[in-house]
Amino acid sequence: MEPIIRVNGLSKRYRVGGGNGYGSLRESIVKTAKAPLRLLNSRTRNNTANGKSHFWALKDVAFEVQPGEVLGLVGSNGAGKSTLLKVLSRITRPTSGRVELYGRVRSLLEVGTGFHPELTGRENVFLNGAILGMRRSETARKFDEIVAFAEVEKFIDTPVKHYSSGMYVRLAFAVAAYLEPEILLVDEVLAVGDIRFWQKSTDKMRQLNAQGMTIVLVTHNMWLIQTVCTRGILLKKGQIDVEGRPQLVIDAYRRTAETLKEDTTTSNGGDEKGAIESLQLLPTEDWTSDGEATPGAPIRLKFTAYVPSEPRVKFYVRIASPDGVPFFTVYSELANVPSSGRVTCEAKIPRLMLHGGDYLVWVGVCSDRDQEDKLLQANVPLVVSQTGSAHPERGLFWNEAAWEIS
Amino acid sequence: MNSAERKLEPADGIGQDLPDGSEKRALHAVEDVLPAPAKVRSPALIIEGNKWIGPDLREMWAHRELFLFLAWRDVKVRYKQTALGASWAILQPLISMVVFTMLFGRLAKVPSEGQPYAIFSYAGLLPWNFFTTAVTNSSNSLISSTNLITKVYFPRLLVPTAAVGACLVDIAIAALMLFAIMPFYGVGFHASLLMLVPLVMLAALTAAALGIWTSALNVKYRDIRYALPFAIQMLMFLTPVIYPISFLPERWRWLLRLNPLSGIIEGFRDAVFGRPFNWEGLAISALVTLGLLVGAAFVFSRMEEEFADVI
């Protein structure tokens, strides 16, 4: 199949220091005065460093994307991911090189670009749609779906300055999710919003991809790369370092020093550390149809870990708040790792005594020597549906008691 | 560089990490549905560095709805949280008219071509106020749209032009006020008033030309923000707003004619008082405006590709 995106020799140079800030008119006037001298060798004008230092945000990048692929771009900060996306979405021009795009491109580099706080939700949907490249008739046709997806029906005629940040983000993402381009460029936008919406929006991306949309995604979230992407590219200092299967790229990314500490604590020589290859929550019959757990219902989850370096490991499941405060952790018995290094683990917590809300479920593998020696971990969001109104004063957990009242 | 590894991984690794393989199935289904690509395809879009070709009018046209939306947003938001709302569009020229009539009409006895000075000055203030607000808003439009410019692509030219478009609502409101006060000064209605529409359009193009030019410069040189209000103030003396062109000695009038606003303001007065139009003067205004517009559009499109990096 012919590629839908073809990138060749793409480079982007930024000026560092003086030239990047606001120019001063005086400097320019001086330059103009000197211009006749420079005109004599005008060819060099754009190419010489001219005494200023330059920085290559992208250097000779080349790759292709096939229709229907979901390409994940990863790399540490400053590796050039966002610059690459900005060049692909025409926000900034490359210094040299060429990009060929064989389809309608829409980019989502930020949720809610152009939202105006004084305008109502309805008005912002249309404005934002137009900014992102939708026709008014198109927006009008999808309006109800957008509002339903964002779950802001009641407030659609309220100025968005009165919205909660969650509502704001939901509405903004919903507009973008209904763009229906052939190529969608997304930058880290899914890092915002609550966990339930995060899940909903990743599902939406999968659905869009299943309908044939090609997606290029910049993210720091390895879980997203693993579950949504079909291929990955690791950028390092503006160049392609590794390209290939998501797992290959994730492993390479984890090996780079800039990643989180917990990912780099290794027992023996990091390279064969392994990975958690899949992780999913398995709904039980008590769950709501939206995929939410109910307070007191059991939760089941299943994950596969690749642990080539350890003969015996322990597994754990930890429930934490979305911002990472752990509530409790349950550990398994020590288990033998088969010679393939691949272990599948299914865990069930029979009764989840959590109130309604958003949680993060971490699973991990630790070595048999020390429970704290965490080899691998991964997480998945969990939503417990709210029954009745929230009572934060009652605490994080609920429990039962046997009473004897005399 | 790990080129061997890069080429090693074909796309058929798709979905293999997913236990249920649903993604794999979905993707294959898509491949079946997609039409077979033509033998020779031309890209829908090519992005290259340093290929400057001037403003892309076709693309502007394709984004005409966005132009309307941006203008509509400006109108909608402009008078939000003001107590007097859109009446500001009337109050500004009205108060200026009263002050000017007292000061220049009564005290300084500036001639008004035999017409009531109040209407004479209002008819001049109408396009002048429109021009100044439009240029000021337009010149600031790009830097106040930083979030748009760094996050999404669209023809940048829409931003300063939509800012001018939004000011058309103000001049329409202010014009209604003019029609309301005309009878009080015994100025009748003439068919020539219809010329106000093309005259406003010409004023809008002049404002757009300056707005396009200054907004682009403003991205790089914030000096514009200080220079422009001052320049506009000075320009008022070189524009026949408070005095008629005939106020100047004959041999200097050509200088005033080079200011496109002279012809426009004179045309406004001719339309209001039902006098024959000075077509020659209007033609000069239109030509100068056209020249400014083309020049501004080229300056803009040359600076445009830097906006996202510099702003």
Q: What angle do CA A259, A57, B298 make, to 5 degrees?
A: 145
In a domain, A260, yes or no: no
Least CA distance to B79: which residue of chain A? A118
Q: Are residues A167 and A89 in the same domain?
A: yes
Q: Phi-psi category of A347—alpha, beta or left, where left has phi over 0 and alpha has psi -120 to 50?
A: beta
Structural domain including A199 reads 64-255
Distance between CA atoms of residues A360 and B107, nearest Å: 78
- Phi then psi for residue A379, to 5 deg, are -140, 160
Percent of chain A with pLDDT over 70: 81
Q: Which pLDDT belongs to residue A252? A: 83
CB contact under 8 A, B154 and A131: yes
B56 to chain A, minimum CA–CA distance in Å?
Answer: 14
Q: CA of B72: how far to CAs of A112, A131, B106, in Å?
A: 18, 13, 40
| pLDDT tens-digit readout, A131-180 | 888 889 999 999 999 999 888 889 999 999 898 877 888 888 888 888 78
B250 to chain A, minimum CA–CA distance in Å?
Answer: 36
B113 to chain A, minimum CA–CA distance in Å?
Answer: 43
CB contact under 8 A, B26 and A209: yes
In a domain, B21, yes or no: no
Strand segments, DSSP code E, in A175-294 are 183-187, 214-218, 231-236, 239-244, 275-282
Among candidates B8, B46, B66 on the partner chain, residue whose Cβ is nearest the Cβ of A131? B66
Q: Which pLDDT belongs to residue A33? A: 64
Task: Give the DSSP H or E segment for B48.
Answer: strand B45-48
Confidence of residue A114 (pLDDT cuts 50, 70, 90): confident
CA dihedral B51→B52→B55→B60, nearest 10 degrees, is: 20
Q: Which pLDDT belongs to residue B229? A: 92
Structural domain including B286 reads 54-310
Q: Which of residues 214-233 of B touch A (CB under 8 A)?
A: 220-223
Q: Does B28 touch chain A (CB under 8 A)?
A: no
Closest C-alpha to A274, from A192, A141, A129, A374:
A374
Q: Are residues A113 and A238 in the same domain?
A: yes
Q: What is the pLDDT along chain B (311 residues), one digit of tens a residue?
A: 444 444 333 444 333 343 444 444 334 433 444 444 444 567 777 887 765 566 778 888 888 899 999 999 998 888 877 878 788 888 888 899 999 999 998 888 888 888 999 999 999 999 999 999 999 999 999 999 988 898 888 889 999 999 999 999 999 999 999 999 999 998 989 899 999 999 999 999 999 999 999 999 999 888 888 899 999 999 998 999 989 988 888 888 888 888 999 999 999 999 999 999 999 999 999 999 999 999 999 899 888 888 888 87
In a domain, A271, yes or no: yes
CATH number at residue A79: 3.40.50.300
Evaluate whether B63 touches B154 at the Cβ level (below 8 Å): yes
CA-based torsion, A30, A31, A36, A38: positive or negative: positive
Closest C-alpha to B214, from B233, B227, B195, B201:
B227
pTM over 0.80: no
Q: Is the pLDDT of residue A272 over 90?
A: no
In a domain, B24, yes or no: no
Q: Are residues A220 and A293 in the same domain?
A: no
Q: Which chain B residues are closer than 8 Å to A303 by Cβ? A: none
CATH number at residue A300: 2.70.50.60
Q: Which chain A residues are closer than 8 Å to B27 by Cβ? A: 68, 209-210, 230
| pLDDT tens-digit readout, B216-261 | 999 988 888 889 999 999 999 899 998 998 888 888 888 888 899 9
Q: Is the pLDDT of residue A20 over 50?
A: no
Q: Are residues A281 and A212 in the same domain?
A: no
In a domain, A106, yes or no: yes
Q: For residue B275, what is the DSSP state?
A: P
Q: Which chain A residues are closer than 8 Å to B73 by Cβ? A: 116, 119, 123, 127
Among candidates B23, B47, B222 on the partner chain, residue whose Cβ is nearest the Cβ of A94? B47
Burial class (CB in 10 A: 0-12, 13-18, 19+), B5: middle
Distance between CA atoms of residues B215 and B211, nearest Å: 6
Q: Are residues A69 and A198 in the same domain?
A: yes
In a domain, A138, yes or no: yes
Burial class (CB in 10 A: 0-12, 13-18, 19+), A325: exposed
Evaluate whether A125 touches A171 at the Cβ level (below 8 Å): yes
Q: Which pLDDT belongs to residue A107? A: 84
In a domain, B100, yes or no: yes
Q: Are residues A304 and A247 in the same domain?
A: no
Q: Are residues A142 and A241 in the same domain?
A: yes
Q: Are residues A81 and A113 in the same domain?
A: yes
Q: Are residues A102 and A243 in the same domain?
A: yes
In a domain, B61, yes or no: yes
CB contact under 8 A, B223 and A6: no
CB contact under 8 A, A211 and B80: no
Strand segments, DSSP code E, in A32-104 are 54-65, 70-74, 96-101
Domains in chain A, number: 2
Domains in chain B, number: 1
A167 to chain B, minimum CA–CA distance in Å?
Answer: 20
In a domain, A199, yes or no: yes
Q: Which pLDDT belongs to residue B92? A: 87
In a domain, B63, yes or no: yes
Domain boundary among A255, A287, A309: A255
| pLDDT tens-digit readout, B298-311 | 899 888 888 888 87
Evaluate whether B127 touches B178 at the Cβ level (below 8 Å): no
Least CA distance to A71: which residue of chain B? B11
Q: Between A and B, how many residue pairs show a Cβ–Cβ distance under 8 A?
A: 181
Q: Are residues A272 and A240 in the same domain?
A: no
Q: Which of residues 251-280 of B touch A (CB under 8 A)?
A: none
In a domain, A34, yes or no: no
Spell out the alpha helix ranges (H) of A2-80. Answer: 25-39
Domain boundary among A213, A233, A255: A255
Mutation for B interface: A13, A84, A100, A242, most B CBs within 10 A: A100
In a domain, B191, yes or no: yes
Who contacts A333 (Cβ-Cβ below 8 Å, separation ≥6)? Answer: A314
Among candidates A109, A131, A240 on the partner chain, residue whose Cβ is nearest the Cβ of B6? A240
Q: Are residues A289 and A148 in the same domain?
A: no
In a domain, A224, yes or no: yes
CB contact under 8 A, A243 and B5: yes
Q: CA of A361: how far to CAs of A50, A237, A281, A383, in Å?
A: 54, 33, 9, 10
Q: Are residues A293 and A158 in the same domain?
A: no
In a domain, B12, yes or no: no
In a domain, B39, yes or no: no
Q: Which chain B residues are closer than 8 Å to A92 by Cβ? A: 305, 308-309
